[in-house]
Structure 1
Amino acid sequence: MTCPLCAASVLPSDSFCEACGHPLNAPTCTACGTPTVDPEGYCERCGLRQPSARDHEEAALETGAAGVTDKGLRRIRNEDAMALLEAGGTTVAVVCDGVASSPRADEASAAAVQTASAALAGGASSEEAFKLAFRAVADLADDPVNPPACTYVSAVVGGGRITLAWAGDSRAYWLPGWTQLTVDDAAPTGEITAWLGADAGPVEPHVRTFAPSEPGLLCVCTDGLSGYLGDGVPDAGEPQALARDLLKHALDAGGRDNVTVVLIPVNPLGGTDG
């Protein structure tokens, strides 16, 4: 046997090449066919970044809710994450955006989404789910100076009522009309002032519960979409098709960031903000 990277002789029992240090159980590159893919997903022989299941994902529920997340046109990987599920007649959505300046931002968003969505589906309050997600992201830190981090927004929809919780600049909107339902945690210069991570300090989520008076769509998204809102952006339609149209809009406008959008149809029972 020989090392696929440097061609030095190796033994069947070896885990690493003694000559160059290459792991001998590395994944196989989809382009050149050699097992030389490094932990970052790049082939060390031909340089190709390997496609990831997170590059583009879609979700849809029988209730009509749907979502899509995509790495966009300029990022090397998708550091957004989303969850969309139904539990006991309630629709739960969680969307997180990994902070690009932090390491392992994709892991941060995934940990927050998985933890919070499971908690909300199990009956936890929006505040409780946020705290669990915060802890899950903080626990990823191996460097207290520059730990993994992400923004956060969750939605729980049921009985004609909507409960939102958020920190950072991931947003929720009411459609049609693109009425913003959240307020960004951001400085005038654009930097976020609240996030999930070991370096975030004490963070309490913003929580808003209300009952819309008319049918519509709740949109939960990252700034990969909200950064491209303006005239001509579609705001009505079947959720799965509309989610794809909104992704296409963001990509056609430049796709400079990861893009995530979740749409939930809401049929209100009446009421006002509570």
Structure 2
Amino acid sequence: MNEVIAVGALTDIGMRRTTNQDAFLAERGVYVVCDGMGGETGGERASAIAVEEFARLAAAGERTRAAIDAAVQRAQRRARALGGELGGIAGTTISGIVLPQWDAGTDPHGAQPDAHMPGLVIDDWDATQPGAALDDSTLTGEWQAARGGWAAPCYVVNIGDSRTYHMERADSAVMAWDARTFTQLTHDHSSRQEAIDAGMGEAESGRRIARNVITRCIGAPHGTHADVFVAPAHGRFIMCSDGCHGELEDATIASIAAAHNDAAGAARALVQASLDAGGSDNVTVVVVDMPADRAALGARGEDDEDLGDVHGLDDATVQT
């Protein structure tokens, strides 16, 4: 039996912005969302820098904790220098997952690069433009791979207030996904979240603190570091900028995601719902569905753990 990873990704400028400072990467087992900030072009360029550095990580195939940290610090140096050039701060969030193994391959689709896990072949790739309501770029794809082609765990990476969520498959012939299992894996680096952590109620923090005041970003003048931890690579992962989770309650995100069996449909529906709810910011969603027969392996690991440490693997096992 073959294993399939399905990916749907979509970004939209929103209803009120004049530029799209969001960006995403969805290739070679690296799936991240970035939300830039910093003037007319600073945020757009900063998010592009983060995507470029994680694309280097994807192309190299090396998926250790050290390699992820190195990609973050390369992006940090470049974004900080950009801020100095522009006379301010050019920053970006980043949130998503990194699979630990991936064999480099060639891109048979030109503008949409791809690579192969062991035994991987492209199956039903599509790159299309969205409808009128979604006037920015879209990327959807589905990959088919032989069983056991990659290590079961993955890394979750986060800086800022973009988010990575997770949900399990449903034990049902009607619904493929179980909204009751919807979980936020990442922890926001924001003033609002810090107030909640200190004991302020969510409703009060929402009234008193703007949602977009973040406390950590790539490009920060005094440096940055990412939350990186291990999670089982099964079920559905949903990565989004605050243009999605700032417009929609978690329960709404969960119900919309669960109502769409395919990753591309879920991504499109979440972006459209964010626009319908006001579309006050750029909105980006990446949905990654792991193989249906990939068994659950338990809860997330501790922060800063390496797959080699947690699972008794050496670096030769978790990089290519």
- TM (norm. structure 1) is 0.69
Counterparts of 1:195-214 in structure 2, within 5 Å, are 195-197=217-219, 199-211=220-232
Tell me how far apart the structure 2 counterparts of residues 92 and 127 of structure 1 sit (CA, whole Å).
14
Indicate conservation of the 8 Å contact 2:7/2:264, yes or no: yes
Which amino acid in 1 is paired with 2:56?
Answer: A
Question: Could you tell me how far 1:269 is from its partner in structure 2?
Answer: 4.1
SS in 1 for 2:37: coil
Distance 1:102 1:138, change over 3 A: farther
In 1: Cα distance, 2:86 partner to 2:267 partner: 37
1:13-32 deviations in whole A, cap 9, x for unaligned? xxxxxxxxxxxxxxxxxxxx
2:221 is paired with a residue whose SS is coil
Q: For the structure 1 residues 120 and 173, does the alpha-carbon distance in structure 2 shift closer, same or farther, using more than 3 Å as the test? A: same
Q: Specify which structure has the higher proportion of helix.
A: 2
Read off the aligned partner of 1:130 and give its amino acid letter. Answer: V
Q: 2:54 aligns with which of 75, 92, 116?
A: 116
Q: Which protein shows a greater Rg?
A: 1
Q: 2:5 touches 2:290 (CA, 8 Å); kept in 1? A: no
1:265 — aligned with what? 289
Q: 1:250 aligns with which of 250, 274, 287?
A: 274
1-side partners of 2:68 and 2:165: how far apart? 18
d(CA) in 2 for partners of 1:261 and 1:200?
28
Equivalent in the alignment of 1:76: 18
* Cα separation, partners in 2 of 1:117 and 1:252, compared to 1, 3 Å: same
Say whether the 8 Å CA contact 1:102–1:148 is kept in structure 2.
no
Corresponding residue number in structure 2 for 1:182: 186
* Match in the other structure for 1:96: 34
Q: How does 1:23-38 map to 2 (within 5 A)?
A: none
Provide Cα deviations, 1:213-241, integer angstroms capped at 9, x if missing partner: xx521011100111123344412220011
Q: Does 1:220 align with 2:212?
A: no
Query: Mind listing any 5+ residue stretches in structure 1 that lack a counterpart?
Result: 1-61
* Closer/same/farther in 2, CA of residues 194 and 143 from structure 1, 3 Å limit: same
Distance 1:162 1:104 in 2: 31
**Post-superposition offset of 1:84:** 0.5
Residues 38 and 90 of structure 2 are in contact (CA less than 8 Å); yes or no, is this contact kept in structure 1?
no
Cα shift at 1:101: 5.1
My pick for the range that moved more, 119-128 or 246-255, is 119-128
User: Matches of 2:186 and 2:80 in 1, distance apart?
Assistant: 24
Identity of aligned residues (%): 30
Give the Å deviation of 1:118: 1.8
How many residues end up aligned between the 2 structures? 206
Is the 2:38–2:89 Cα contact (8 Å) retained in structure 1?
A: no
Q: CA deviation at 1:247?
A: 0.8
Unaligned runs of 5+ in 2: 100-149, 168-177, 193-208, 302-320
CA contact (8 A) 1:218 1:263 kept: yes
Residue identity in the other structure for 1:229? L
- Amino acid corresponding to residue 204 of structure 1 in structure 2: H
Distance 1:232 1:96, change over 3 A: closer
Deviation at 1:151, TM superposition (A): 1.1
- How much does 1:131 deviate? 1.4
Cα distance in 2 for residues equivalent to 1:166 and 1:120 = 17
Summarize deviations over 1:111-138 as a string: whole Å, max 9, x none.
1111122224411532222112222222
Distance of aligned partners of 1:133 and 1:152 in 2 relative to their CA distance in 1, 3 Å threshold: same
Q: Identify the match of residue 161 of structure 1 among 131, 153, 158.
A: 153
Kept after mapping to 2: 8 A contact 1:82/1:95:
yes
Q: Is the 8 A contact 2:7 2:286 kept in 1?
A: yes
Q: Is the 8 A contact 1:161 1:209 kept in 2?
A: yes
8 Å contact from structure 2 (residues 27, 58) kept in 1: no
Work out whether residues 70 and 258 of structure 1, in 8 Å CA contact, stay in contact via their aligned partners in 2.
yes
Assess if the C-alpha contact under 8 Å between 2:76 and 2:223 holds in 1: no
CA distance in 1, matches of 2:286, 2:296: 23
Q: Distance in 1 between matches of 2:248 and 2:183?
A: 11
Could you tell me which of 75, 78, 81 is aligned with 1:139?
A: 81
Quote the RMSD (CA, aligned, Å).
2.1
* Cα drift, residue 204 of structure 1: 1.3
